[in-house]
Amino acid sequence: MSYRRYIINDMKKTERVNLAISGMHCSSCANIIERQLKKVAGVSEARVNFASEKASIVYDPSLAKITDLENAVAKAGYKASENAIDESQKIKTEWHKFLASFILSAPMIYFMLFDFFGWFPGAKSLLPYVGIISFILSTPVQFIMGAGFYRGMWSALKMRTFNMDSLIAIGTSVAYFYSVINFFMKIPELYFETAAFLITFVILGKFLEAKAKGRTSEAIQKLMGLQAKTARVIRNGETLDVPIDQVIKGDVVLVRPGEKIPVDGVILKGSSAIDESMITGESLPVEKHIGDNVIGATINKTGSFEIEATRVGAESTLSQIIKLVEDAQGSKAPIQAFADRISAWFVPAVIIIALITFGIWYLVLGASLSFSLMAFTAVIVIACPCALGLATPTAIMVGTGKGAEHGILVKGGEPLEAACKIKAIIFDKTGTLTNGKPVVTDIIGDVLQISASLETYSEHSLAEAIVKKYEGKLFAVSDFRAIPGQGITGVINDKTYFFGKPKYETYHDLESAGKTVMELSCDDKVLGAIAVADTVKETSKEAVQRLQKMGIDVWMITGDNARTAKAIAQQVGITNILSEVLPQDKADEVKKLQAMGKKVAMVGDGINDAPALAQADLGIAMGSGTDVAMESGGIVIIKNDLRDVVNAIDLSKETMQKIKQNMFFALFYNVAGIPIAARVFSFAGLILKPELAGLAMALSSISVVSNSLLLRGYKPGHKNYVSIMAPFAMTIGFAWLFFEFARFSSGMAK
């Protein structure tokens, strides 16, 4: 599935497209493609994610076409397509490539045993033909199975840089061509098996890596699996079963008991109880009647009804969720810049170290040419930065995926990283700490009819409660005007009325009870007042307590007066109160906390609080399920449960911890492996042969992906002990394995 969306920016229409990229072997490949895409006229942004194998491109369609983007990727030496890569097919291809490479390389293992066991069956008869057989077997491995490495090296050279492919191509070429020269010069020192098995082990690593990476995107597959496959559409009086992608806006869709609702819509006929747990997290079904909205992929439990399709295809709630998750998984966290900077200089540095290693052994210490070349090759191979390129994106893919499973939509690596640094969090009151469904509790004077008439024209959250309270005939209102943060005015029967914040009288008792009081006046004369109360969410107090235990300062911000605000704050355990704050001033209050050196998160409804959400270091928008496309927050909480705010911060901390662990794994193996590969410790019997260096390199990538996959065990509010302990066990295990490789190599070294 590919997505495109239009972005209005500086009065120019640009389009974002996601392309699937194939042929990448490391993060350097991703950087090469990014640089090539940015050269295309009309491209304003290009992000390539190595782990997800996707490119996210913003371009001007009047200046560039999709084919131009695909050609740019092809020019860089890779392949791009709007169609998503078939992960199962990719895994199968890598497996077949490994099998072919292994079958060709396997006889050379048998030949290697002749060096240790002269009595081995066939040793005497086959020994004269070992060279020619090894040459024949290793050549297709080098130039057919290993062709991708040469293409990658050539692409990097065209961009005047080096990448992982460069290291593999150089390392295997040294072993192969040195062996070819020796073979034709009748010199017995041959290393065909080194080149062949190096490529074989790297391909094995790629197969295992692809298999593990496939599991990082399981969240998207699960979300896609929620979608109904067909819809029962009524057209021209006839009921038809059509594929879900053929439903159009305005279609009448029949939904029977036990079926998934195919698309978002509004009920035209009938009623039922709907299981919306996949969106809202509520276990109890919700009663729906004529005029109510329903969400696609939710389950109809009891009755039969007809809906009018209002949002289909990419506009549907589920598609928007999938789009947000895909964008997040293709994004880069700021910490990725660190890995990119290391990768940029790491490969050239490794080549220099390898050349120095060769020079010291051959020119200074007088070692044999073969010994020096194998040390050179081992250094080249062991230092491939594949694992470093996987460290950040794999963790982000799994972390954002787990968040989506639990109703937490993290819009990318940047908000994910920001969440773990939060030191202060500001909650909007209405609809965030409270349920946002106020009810009229007190009426002072005969003011309900006039007040309800005025509020009919208002969009304020309290207006609906007042209008709903009055069931009679309403007055006609003219010259209606809303005064932000104060109230509303309007003319009824030639008289101008004001309804809003009390101006003339005080209502201490009502306000101290947590009620919001609105006063009705006419010509500076008070006619009466109405008190409205909003109930606090059951989970708000628990969420606040958990945040405070984490050492985060919790604030409440509201336009209510100090007494009302204090009453609500006391119910949830908040002592830091910002009251009587106008909507346009909320962002200024965020700035004040930021000026104190705090990283601030703002939690609001994503509409009225948009400026404050944008100003905060992290904006967290409370969603209702149908508004998941909100652009105002870096994190969207679908279930409207404040405990998910805490869970989002917990998840971000665990994900960032995984990224740091992954970077340690990546750098630890490279840094520790280089001196062993350079044969610095040969006096202690530690020598790493190039082919085993290749296997060790592959294992480092696997360790990084496996560590990221441990995030799949994340459960809100629970400690993931396996995830905590596993990195320690992996460090010990892989270090031991690495040491054993070196010991084994010492007995094979020439």
pLDDT in tens, 373-403: 888 888 887 777 677 777 887 888 888 888 8
pLDDT tens digits, 189-217: 777 887 888 788 778 877 776 776 666 56
Is the distance from CB of 165 to CB of 152 less than 8 angstroms? yes
Candidate ranges 407-411, 503-507, 587-591, 637-641; pick with highest mean pLDDT: 587-591
Size of the chain in residues: 750
Q: Please give the backbone phi and psi of residue 303, each rounded to the nearest 5 degrees, phi first.
A: -85, 175
- Three-class SS of residue 191? coil
Is the distance from CB of 544 to CB of 554 less than 8 angstroms? yes
What is the DSSP annotation of 595-618? HTT--EEEEE-SSTTHHHHHHSSE
Q: What is the pLDDT of residue 526?
A: 92
**Going edge to edge, which strands form the sheet with 272-275?**
286-288, 272-275, 299-300
Amino acid identity, residue 629? A
Helix axis angle, 540-549 to 643-677, nearest 10°:
40
Helix axis angle, 164-184 to 690-709, nearest 10°:
160
Per-residue confidence band for 122, with pLDDT thresholds at 50, 70 and 90 = low
Q: What is the pLDDT of residue 329?
A: 62
Amino acid identity, residue 299? I
**Predicted confidence (pLDDT) at residue 729 exceeds the cutoff of 90:** no
**Predicted confidence (pLDDT) at residue 439 exceeds the cutoff of 70:** yes
Beta strands in 487-598 (DSSP E): 487-492, 495-500, 516-522, 525-533, 553-557, 576-578
Beta strands in 445-494 (DSSP E): 478-483, 487-492
For the chain, the average pLDDT equals 82
Per-residue confidence band for 331, with pLDDT thresholds at 50, 70 and 90 = low
Per-residue confidence band for 282, with pLDDT thresholds at 50, 70 and 90 = low
Residue 662 burial (CB count, 10 A): 26
Per-residue confidence band for 363, with pLDDT thresholds at 50, 70 and 90 = very high
Catalytic residue, candidates 251, 264, 327, 428 = 428
Amino acid identity, residue 121? P
**Predicted confidence (pLDDT) at residue 602 exceeds the cutoff of 70:** yes
pLDDT tens digits, 452-461: 999 998 877 6
Per-residue confidence band for 544, with pLDDT thresholds at 50, 70 and 90 = very high
Mean pLDDT of all residues in 122-127? 66
**Predicted confidence (pLDDT) at residue 263 exceeds the cutoff of 50:** yes
Per-residue confidence band for 425, with pLDDT thresholds at 50, 70 and 90 = very high
Rounded Cα distance between 540 and 572, Å, is 6
Mean pLDDT of all residues in 447-456? 92
Ramachandran region, residue 160 (left: φ > 0; alpha: ψ -120 to 50; beta: rest): left
CA distances from 736 to 208, 729, 740, 741 (A): 20, 11, 6, 9
What is the share, in percent, of the chain residues with pLDDT greater than 70? 88
516 or 546, greater pLDDT: 546
Rounded Cα distance between 612 and 709, Å, is 35
Torsion of CA 36, 40, 46, 50, to 10 degrees: -30
Q: What is the pLDDT of residue 378?
A: 83
Amino acid identity, residue 552? I
Rounded Cα distance between 722 and 710, Å, is 7
Q: What is the pLDDT of residue 529?
A: 94
Is the distance from CB of 465 to CB of 439 less than 8 angstroms? yes
State whether the Cα torsion 169-170-175-180 is positive or negative: positive
Scanning 217-252, the segments in alpha helix (DSSP H) are 218-226
Q: What is the pLDDT of residue 624?
A: 56
Q: Please give the backbone phi and psi of residue 723, each rounded to the nearest 5 degrees, phi first.
A: -65, -35
Q: Which of 496, 480, 476 is nearest to 488 (CA)?
A: 480
Q: Which of 697, 725, 718 is nearest to 202 (CA)?
A: 697
Whether residue 609 lies in the annotated active site: no
Per-residue confidence band for 4, with pLDDT thresholds at 50, 70 and 90 = very low
Q: What is the pLDDT of residue 674?
A: 83
Per-residue confidence band for 9, with pLDDT thresholds at 50, 70 and 90 = very low
Q: What is the pLDDT of residue 115?
A: 55
Q: What is the pLDDT of residue 576?
A: 93
pLDDT tens digits, 165-175: 787 888 888 88
| Widest distance between CA atoms in the chain | 117
For the chain, the C-alpha Rg in angstroms (whole number) is 33
Q: What is the pLDDT of residue 478?
A: 92
Structure tokens at 82: 């709007």
Strands 516-522 and 495-500: antiparallel
Per-residue confidence band for 112, with pLDDT thresholds at 50, 70 and 90 = low
pLDDT tens digits, 36-61: 899 899 898 888 877 678 888 889 88
Rounded Cα distance between 126 and 9, Å, is 72
Beta-bridge partners for 601: 425, 618
Rounded Cα distance between 139 and 193, Å, is 11
Which DSSP helix (H) or strand (E) runs through 267? Answer: strand 264-270
Amino acid identity, residue 111? F
**Predicted confidence (pLDDT) at residue 552 exceeds the cutoff of 90:** yes
CA distances from 575 to 560, 566, 578 (A): 16, 8, 10
What is the DSSP annotation of 318-384? HHHHHHHHHHHHT---TTHHHHHHHHHHHHHHHHHHHHHHHHIIIIIS---HHHHHHHHHHHHHHT-
The angle at the Cα of 699, spanning 694 to 703, to the nearest 5 degrees, equals 155
Amino acid identity, residue 632? S
What is the share, in percent, of the chain residues with pLDDT greater than 90? 21
